[in-house]
Structure 1
Amino acid sequence: MYFLGIDLGSSSIKLSVLDAESGTTISSVSVPDFEMEIVAPQHGWAEQDPESWWQYIKNGIGLLKTKRNTDISKIAGIGIAYQMHGLVLTDENLNVIRPSIIWCDSRAAQIGNSIYNSIGALKCQEQILGSPGNFTASKLKWVKDNQPELFEKAKYMMLPGDYIAAKLTGVAQTSTSGLSEAALWNFPEGRLATEILDAMGISKDIIPEIVPNFGNQAQINPEVATELGLNPNVKITYRAGDQPNNALSLNVLKPGEIATTAGTSAVVYAVSQSDIYDANNRINTFLHVNNAPDDKHNGVMLCINGSGILYQWLRKIMSADRPELISYETLNAEAAKAQPGSKGLRFYPFGNGVERIFNNKEATSGIQNLNFNIHSSPQLVRAACEGIVFAMNYGFDVMKSIGAGGDIVRAGKANLFLSPVFREIFANTTQTTVELYNTSGAEGAARGAAYGYGYYASLDQAFEKLECLERIEPNSGLTAQYAEIYNEWKININIQE
């Protein structure tokens, strides 16, 4: 029996098919064959067309069948992971009303702050474990205030993965963890946070049916099944935001376990059984995928917006806007030519929207101490890697201060964790052991689908085949060196008020 995992990112969409009997991925594709466009009509805005996501996913399913020779009629269940915090508005026929306001869009940050202040900091933190900030709820309010004619047409508010599930099934739904990432979940009472909706003057009727992360959520629409060549009995059996799903992919499910990723953005995600929060809203708490009413599991998360997108920017700049001339492997090799500290060059990777670790303020991005006579491409690339890790460590320190931490961090061997230099910087700056796994968000979504379908009796069984590829231990000689460089870097952060 096969299960399909879909990982909807902001740069690309990955699809993987899991053979549940062997516990191995038999085929994978990534679509499109270029980085998806993020449209910025104004400074601080970031939008994508949800219909284009759907078209790419249909193309990807076709490629699994034609290019990978996968018998997709054997697929029994589908799991969907997706870029978090995006807003998709549709009418009652699931037609998109406006482009999706995605995760790195900053326009609604002030609205979130206003809601937070009107409800009261303590009440907000006790109920939703933070501030509405720049999350989906605030984006919904922005549309209501600034595009009332479009808001009036909206029947459903969904997150990006909910929209893809709706296109597959014809049924509008969202999940409990999805509502928590939208700042619309009351943690103490385990329900929709109607208090936030009331403060925004928005009816709860715009929230579609709420389903758990795992289970028989909805069956595929027969016409869609025919169009795609899927079995008409296929069910959606799992959905989650990309970071909770990344943790699932790495079998990070128990308190004290930590996952990380450094894709377009950089994230550290720790599991806790407590409703913990940071009083300054620098990190965020969401329902983890395995949360249950009688067995609490939360994900405590820090996010740095400028990570892989900084590496992408470097690649374009260094190749005179012809990135095909320079590969990411070339960048990794350049970084390896420089010594720790990059000869004093410092990089601040805050150039992709407001940053949560600065309470949704914008931090000045840029390069410091650049000397044209001593710095060249190796120092530039290594300083970028150091800056990304230092920003992650800045948030990691906040997580540890509220009781969410650990000594071992798991990551997929992908994106920036393909770089030996990046891995060295991470292990020695955070002073943690890094475990690398050969997995992906799409594979994790497929395993989640198999468990949600009931093929696996437990999540432990679902991850029996997951193996650690490599462990990177901190080096006592390097940890002190990186601590000194990090402290210098931290002193010079410039936050715009």
Structure 2
Amino acid sequence: MNYHLGLDIGSSSIKAALVEINSGKSIGVVQEPKEEMSMFAQKNGWAEQEPKDWWLHVCNAIQSLKKQYNINKTQIKGIGISYQMHGLVLVGKQGEPLRKSIIWCDSRAVATGKNAFKQIGEEKCATQLLNSPANFTASKLKWVKENEPDIYNQIYKFMLPGDFIAYKFSNKINTTISGLSEGIFWDFKNDKIADFLLEHYGLDPSLVPDIVETFGMQSVVDQKGADESGLATGTPIYYRAGDQPNNALSLNVFHPSEVAATGGTSGVFYAVTDSLSAKESNRVNNFAHVNYQKGAAARIGKLLCINGAGIQYRWLLNNLDVSSYEDMNNLASEIAIGSDGVCLIPFGNGAERMLNNKEIGTRVLNLNLNNHHKGHLCRAALEGIAFSFVYGMEILTSDGINPKVIRAGNDNLFRSEIFANTVATLIDQEIEIYNTTGAIGAARAANLHTGDFASFSKTIMNNDYVMTFTPNKEKQAFKEAYQNWKKELELILNT
């Protein structure tokens, strides 16, 4: 039996999956380390990780998979890599990291990106970058140039986290168009590296890695990579993508009007379009999707993130007198749609980009201490989080997205019937649920170097489909509850 290896390089842990090549069936998934990886924060708002730690955990995960499932290295025929987006890894000429990686949730470059947005011009950024430079990888590199010139002067290449892991396997430094776009290094209008942004930031173009296809022979494991990882020399790396495009791929979302949704600690809608419109570039990010190709019809992933999602429900679990999420869902199911007027605004996890980066916090409104109890709070929380997804979809709709298919992972929030039914009913769209992970998706994507997308789609349907939530025919109560919530939200936003 032969397998593909999928790696998901997160900021909390590294996950590794084996899938059988012919069937696409998942054989097993492991996580390293067992506890959450640490972050370094020298100052408030900073977040860094040591790239060598990612590699150590990758190697440990591969050894664990091989041992647990009795697989030898020659049975692993290819590698797919998913990784935390927007990170910055800097290496010198010998390939050694020059500093810790500045990762996705580090906010030190916010002012750098804001200034660039104004100075370059909002229209030019929207039409060519499809985004503000914001706090993305290019702005972080500019921050290093300004604040750590000794390090900047030693840089041979910058990389994204997935590029670094591929380099450790192969001793080859390269990246993808999708990866460059997530760092805001890609000029979509001219289909090339955004030279004007590099020039504005004073960044040396030679620091940009070589570009390889997202699907294809990107590099192969060399002797050093084999010795450290336990894979065979010559094992190809066939695929690499950031975690959100990869999550969409894992859910078989490739074409315009297809939408991937995730409902974990934070929530995401990732919608694919063939339009280069960036009308909502202040609230929605736009990246080259995994199947974007130069000179072909555009495939853009519009990413709308909701920070205050599952973290809100988890907070209630930890602070109410309840034993489990199931207990909370049962309490919520006893309460009517609209939670008897109780309204929960669930944005207590920092600034919300979709609310123009306002930080409004969590708010519980209209609570009557005589009539309402924890069941109302549980229902109001599920509804409030669901309403935030609906509000996000309204933003995407205003930016040209007309969803025809929504697929979601079988994760925390979408296991709740109240949550999923509320979203499906108000968006008026079925939501298909699939049981998959980013590491499994990356492993399967290693097979897409063959170009057989039809078989890939069939594999997901055969192995992962769980169920479909359909919109309620009776919508009025849902609509009234949502309008009440939206009115409360807009009162806060306009204060």
Using structure 2 for the length normalisation, give the TM-score.
0.91
Partner of 1:465: 459
> Which one of the candidate residues 447, 452, 466 is aligned to 2:444?
447
Contact 2:86 2:183 in 1 (8 A): yes
Distance 1:280 1:223 in 2: 43
Q: Distance in 1 between matches of 2:112 and 2:60?
A: 37
Equivalent position of 1:94 in the other structure = 95
1:322 matched residue in structure 2: none
> Are 2:269 and 2:304, in contact at CA under 8 Å, matched by a contact in 1?
yes
In the alignment, residue 473 of structure 2 is paired with which amino acid?
S
Distance 1:11 1:496 in 2: 36
Q: Which residue of 2 aligns with 1:52?
A: 53
1:26 aligns to what SS in structure 2? strand
Provide the secondary structure at the position in 2 that maps to 1:130: coil
Establish whether residue 397 from structure 1 lines up as the match of residue 394 from structure 2.
yes
**Matched position secondary structure for 1:52:** helix
- What's the CA shift for 1:134? 2.1
Classify 1:128/1:301 alpha carbon distance in 2 versus 1 (closer, same or farther; 3 Å): same
**In the TM superposition, what is the alpha-carbon distance from 1:398 to its structure 2 partner?**
1.5
Amino acid at match of 1:175: T
Structure 1 residues 29-51: Cα deviation after superposition (integer angstroms, max 9, x where no partner): 22332333344444433333333
Which residue of structure 1 lines up, in the alignment, with residue 131 of structure 2?
130
- Rounded Cα–Cα distance in structure 2 between residues aligned with 1:489 and 1:236: 48
Give the number of equivalent residue pairs: 487
Letter in 1 for 2:165: I
The answer as to whether partners of 1:357 and 1:395 remain within 8 angstroms in 2 is: yes
**The 10-residue stretch of structure 1 (86-95 or 14-23) with the greater mean CA deviation from structure 2:** 86-95
- Between the aligned residues of both structures, percent identity stands at 43
Q: Is the 8 A contact 2:350 2:359 kept in 1?
A: no
AA aligned opposite 1:469: V
The correspondence of residues 68-467 of structure 1 with structure 2, limited to 5 A, is 68-279=69-280, 281-293=282-294, 294-318=296-320, 328-359=325-356, 361-369=357-365, 370-452=367-449, 454=450, 457-467=451-461
Q: CA separation in 1, counterparts of 2:299 and 2:53?
A: 34
1:247 deviates by: 1.2
Range with bigger deviation, 479-488 or 288-297: 479-488
Secondary structure of the residue aligned to 2:55 is: helix
1:229 CA drift (Å)? 2.3
Distance (Å, rounded) in 2 between the aligned partners of 1:160 and 1:474: 39
Preserved CA contact (<8 Å) 2:269 2:305: yes
CA distance in 2, matches of 1:4, 1:330: 37
Q: Quick one: structure 1 residues 31 and 379, their matched pair in 2 at CA, closer, same or farther if it must change by over 3 Å? A: farther
Letter in 2 for 1:300: K
Change (3 A) 1:196 1:472: same
CA contact (8 A) 2:55 2:168 kept: yes
| Per-residue Cα deviation, 1:379-418 (whole angstroms, up to 9, x for no partner) | 3343333333222222211111122121431112123222
Matched residues in 1 for 2:331 and 2:493: separation?
Answer: 30
Q: TM-score, normalised by structure 1?
A: 0.90
Distance in structure 1 (CA, Å) of the matches to 2:330 and 2:291: 39
Q: Quote the offset at 1:156 in angstroms.
A: 2.3
Match of 2:479 in 1: 483
Whether the 8 Å contact between 2:82 and 2:439 is mirrored in structure 1 is: yes
1:439 positional shift? 1.9
SS in 1 for 2:423: helix
Distance in 1 (alpha carbons) for counterparts of 2:350 and 2:91: 25
Give, in whole Å, the separation in 2 of the partners of 1:170 and 1:378. Answer: 56
Per-residue deviation, 1:304: 1.4
Instruction: Give the SS at the match of 1:463.
Output: helix
Q: Residue 64 of structure 1 contacts residue 72 of structure 1 at CA under 8 Å; is this kept in 2?
A: no
Structure 1, unmatched stretches of 5+, are 320-324
CA RMSD of aligned residues (A): 2.5
What is the DSSP-based 3-state SS (H/G/I as helix, E as strand, rest coil) of the residue aligned with 1:465? helix
Q: Is the 8 A contact 1:363 1:495 kept in 2?
A: no
Contact kept in structure 2, 1:104 and 1:305, CA below 8 Å? no
Quick check: 310-319 or 200-209, which moved more? Answer: 310-319
Tell me the CA shift for residue 176 of structure 1.
Answer: 0.4
Q: Secondary structure at the match of 2:301?
A: strand
Cα distance in 1 for residues equivalent to 2:320 and 2:89: 36
Distance 1:144 1:339, change over 3 A: farther
1:301 partner letter: L
Task: Please identify, of 369-378 and 427-436, the stretch whose mean Cα deviation from structure 2 is larger.
Answer: 369-378
* Structure 2 residue identity aligned to 1:35: E
Shift of 1:433: 0.7
Structure 2: segments with no counterpart, 5+ residues: none
* 2:287 and 2:302 in contact (8 A); partners too: yes
Amino acid paired to 2:203: I
Residue identity opposite 1:480 in structure 2 = Q
Contact kept? 1:116, 1:131, Cα under 8 Å: yes
What is the one-letter code of the residue matched to 2:195? T
